[in-house]
A and B are shown apart, each in its own frame.
Chain A
Amino acid sequence: MLAALAVRISPAERRNWAEALRAELPYVPAGAAMSFALGGVVTALRLRVAHPPFVLGTARYGLAVGALVWAALHMRMWLHLNSVDPSLPAALSLATGIVFAIGGLITALRGLRPTVWLALPMLVLLGLYTGAAGVLMPQSPNRAFYQALALEDAVALLSAITIAALARCYAATRRTPPR
């Protein structure tokens, strides 16, 4: 049963190896068969996790969900800020949330490449905003708070770009192995 599970878990291009492990089981003494079969499941999991489409899919949908959660947090923040400080930076929190939501949906629908191209200009805008905040609202008591929020967004975007780029590089360097 474990060996059959290993075959199911393995990516299609690697199934031959899981089949090889399953075929070996009848030749393994009864006392060692269980650990040998468990090793087959471990092997299949390792092959699955290292499989480029799995890495790309995990990065893609992980980033999409992350962006949507981030967007929801921004919306919640906007609702709170709007009740205590209905200013332009509070509205920007809503705008940022909407951009993150759109980015998350595009990532889910179109993949990682658009994520990078969307996130880069957004990162530049956030950098400009953080730098210009002192000029835009010199009297605001919440200036440092809004700068910190923008910086947090910039770090989130930079992380997303890094994850997307690493996943794409990984997939590009792993050619499809021969069967």
Chain B
Amino acid sequence: MRKRRPSPQAAAVFAALVAQPSTWRHGYDLSRETGLSSGTLYPLLVRLHDAGLLEAEWRPPQEPGRPARHVYRLTKAGAVTAREVVEQRAPLEAPGGLAGAVT
């Protein structure tokens, strides 16, 4: 079966997560790093989680009086997929690549 090509938004999330695959990341940090609004980022995280590519869990707050936070990181399968996506996109985003040619 042919694999679906991930959207640029999904690729951005993969790239952000695979840069530190074992680190748990927060939603706002990912939003800031990828430049995606929360309305785009969170449905994407939900889809990745449903596909078994992302793990999510609640973490107690580091400062008292603040709420617990939801954190995310890639699963093993997610890390493999993310590396593939990032490698596939690298030639497109390189100077002189296709992405550069159309912008």
Residues of A participating in the B interface, judged by any CB pair closer than 8 Å: 14, 16-17, 19-21, 23-24, 26-28, 35-43, 46-47, 177-178
Contacts and interface: CB of A to CB of B under 8 A. Distances in A.
Contacts of B31: 36
**Chain B interface secondary structure, helix, strand, loop or mixed?**
helix
A21 B46 CA distance: 12
Nearest to A43: B42
B9 interface: no
B43 to A, nearest CB: 5
A28 B68 contact: no
Nearest to A177: B50
Nearest to A174: B50
The 3 closest A-B pairs by CB, nearest first: A39-B38, A42-B39, A20-B70
A24 B42 CA distance: 12
A77 to B, nearest CB: 45
A46 B43 contact: yes
Nearest to A14: B46
Given A20-B56, A43-B39, A36 B28 contact: yes
A17 B69 contact: no
B42 A40 contact: yes
A27 B25 CA distance: 13
Contact of A24 (B49, B56, B70): B70
Contacts of A41: 39
Interface of B: 26-28, 31, 37-43, 45-46, 49-50, 56, 58, 66-70
Nearest to A36: B38
A39 B70 contact: no
A28 B43 contact: no
A47 B39 CA distance: 11
Given A35-B37, A47-B46, A21 B27 contact: yes
Most buried by A among B37, B38, B49: B38
Contacts of A42: 37-39
Nearest to A19: B70
B20 to A, nearest CB: 18
A42 B40 CA distance: 8
A24 B46 CA distance: 15
B39 A24 contact: no
A35 B38 CA distance: 8
